[in-house]
Structure 1
Amino acid sequence: MTFEPIWGSIIAWYLFLAGLGGGAFITAGFLRFRHPEAVHLRKIGHVMAPVVVAIGLVLLIFDAKAGLHSPLRFALLLTNFGSVMTWGVVFLAAFMVVSLAVLVFDVLKRRVPLALEIVGMACGVCVGMYTGALLGVCQTFPLWNNALLPILFLVSALSTGAAAVLCCGIVLHPEEFNRVGTLKRAHYCLPLIELVMVASLLFVTASVSDAGFNSVMSLLVGDYAWLFWIGLFLVGLAGPSLVETWLLFFAKRSFEDSRKAQWISFGADVGVLIGGFLLRYLVIVASLPLTMAVPML
């Protein structure tokens, strides 16, 4: 008989920070192609990426108590390339190396090579998807073992990464924030995509088994309903979408570029960050395992 690991809030923070770091680097790369004049915002993404991923890795080591006392055990993860965890280590290591190399170029005030930026963006995509695939290893949990989860976590990583960069931009470089309209419109679409994908994930999960159905019900009407509806749905997804819809499509241009509008956007982006964490936390804590009846011999 095998037993599946039960993860908690520390792993939720690790998944959130890893995804955010990958999304921040991808945001910086997007700015290079679409808004090359937003130099400071791009550097914010380059600084944020390795820092938040490193914090997430420290939390992972702390949670894996055996690894905390015997760090060399983590090297064993590189011996099985049929394992999702092994590929996760590869993606994270490659991302950290590339993102730190890019950061060195920024510190030295040298132009980041295009090839290095593209490789970093590809690693960021892999890290974002890996955070969802990691949960899928536990096949007895229907809410985790779902092909939609890696894609949902990738979209959330892009959304939280962009939100974090934009929040810092509002505080540190508000003049650049007003000039990255393409990024703001792209970021606006991501919570809407997340809403559709969350609904799809819950619908598929509820239809596969009793454990899946009960997991979904615990989110919609059970113990975690208030966190789901108020925290994830309202604060993290619907609220920011409504605010940005108003700012981008209905507010006067003079108001959209004002400092007051920037702080309203800041609040919406903070909501996106809260929703990004709650998405991972709720997926972890609400998931129930399949039960197996063993006939008596």
Structure 2
Amino acid sequence: MEAQAVHVVWDFRVVIDLFLGGVGVGLFLLATYFSFTAKEKHWTVIKTGYILSPVFVGAGVLSLMTELGKPLRMFSTYIHFNPTSITSWGGYIQTLFILAGFLIICYLFKTGIDSFNNNIFKSIQITGLLLAVGTGIYHGLLLASLGRPLWMNGLIPVLFFLSSIIAGASLLIVLRSVSSKVFHSAEDLAIAEVAATSRSAKPDQPLTYLFTILLVLQVALMIVWRVTLQATGLEAVGNYQLMMEHYGSIWWIAAIGLGLIVPLAISIYASIRKVSFSMGSAVILMVSTLIGSYAFKHIIVYAGQLNVPNPFM
């Protein structure tokens, strides 16, 4: 099967926005999770995750603005808000999320770990959490709303969201491995010492188990997505076949192999052995997962724009 024409409206700059924004969302969600469960033990990781999150999302938005050709055109979405447009909602959600992220950074640098006892900070944190979820879901809904056969499946927003969390988690795993080298303030050292005295004898590996669960869920949903394409319609199946013809090798090697199989094998091994990720395995996880996440979003965005030929023409 050959495409009649390939008219790419969204190029790699949109993919970069989806990718970097997704990593930022994943960092924020995981940092918030650990701030609720073990903020002393993971203080350095939490702080680093919160600092990097709005930076990644902001970099993604800048990439999107360059794709628009006229960057100032983006501001028209704020002035001429359309409540029925997912793009209009996305512009506000991402902007508010970045602002919430920078407010959190200001609090953390001003009052440190004591910020988590401040009610105003907690309100900003919860608001940021909701905006992070909104941003993650928006990335997938934006595709689903455009009516392209490959994007219309309801699992696309979920797969994009999970891919974002996994990418952010892989980065946090490396940050956790090198946390002693990231910050050297007296506060960080004091908090680390308190956490060490209260740590159990078992290896501290909440990220290991969480990462494994997320990967298993992503693999399961990938399979469900492929199976349910049949129910979406013949055009969706044809679009998937075109995707395999144009991007099949990259899909299996990068998106599936590096993005899912390699990190899943490493994380399952660590979970069974009940050990934390070593520095070497953490770096492999991060590199393979980030490559896989980008490849997945790149292929879905580009393949979704392939025109399926009409069998009656």
**SS of match in other structure, 1:173:** helix
Cα pair distance change 1:107/1:278, threshold 3 Å = same
- Residue 189 of structure 2 corresponds to which residue in structure 1? none
> Which of 162, 171, 174 is matched with 2:178 structurally?
171
Supply the AA of the counterpart residue of 1:49. S
CA distance in 2, matches of 1:15, 1:95: 15
Q: TM-score, normalised by structure 1?
A: 0.86
Question: 1:145 deviation in Å?
Answer: 1.5
User: In structure 1, what is the equivalent of residue 290 of structure 2?
Assistant: 273
* Equivalent pairs, count: 281
Residue pair 2:170, 2:282 contacting (<8 A) in 1 also: no
Change (3 A) 1:6 1:34: same
Q: Does the Cα contact within 8 Å between 1:240 and 1:272 map onto a contact in 2?
A: yes
| CA distance, structure 1, for counterparts of residue 75 and residue 241 of structure 2 | 41
2 CA distance for matches of 1:9 and 1:70?
Answer: 19
**Residue equivalent to 1:262:** 279
Check whether the contact 2:163–2:218 (CA below 8 A) recurs between aligned residues.
yes
- CA distance in 1 between counterparts of 2:180 and 2:164 reads 23
Q: Does 1:242 align with 2:265?
A: yes
1:21–1:50 contact (8 Å) kept in structure 2: yes
The 1:289/1:137 distance shift into structure 2, 3 A limit, reads farther
How much has 1:12 moved relative to structure 2? 0.9
Question: CA deviation digits over 1:79-134, x for unaligned, max 9?
Answer: 21111111111211220111110011112134142222122111111100000001
Partner of 1:51: 55
Q: What residue identity is the alignment partner of 2:211? A: H
Percent identical pairs in the alignment equals 20
Structure 2 unaligned spans of 5+ = 1-6, 182-191, 196-201
The one-letter code sitting in structure 2 at the alignment partner of 1:230 is I
Distance in 2, Cα, partners of 1:96 & 1:249: 38
Q: What amino acid maps onto 1:277 in structure 2?
A: Y
Q: For the Cα contact (< 8 Å) 1:31–1:183, is it kept in 2?
A: no
Structure 2 Cα separation of the partners of residues 71 and 130 of structure 1 = 16
Q: CA RMSD in A?
A: 2.6
> Secondary structure of 1:142's partner?
coil
Find the aligned partners of 1:28 and 1:52 in 2 and give their Cα distance.
14
Q: Please state if 1:284 is matched with 2:301.
A: yes
Is 2:8–2:302's contact at 8 Å kept on the other side of the alignment?
no
CA distance in 1, matches of 2:268, 2:150: 31
Distance 1:289 1:134 in 2: 19
Q: Give the counterpart of 1:93 among 95, 119, 128.
A: 95
- Long gaps (5+) in structure 1: none
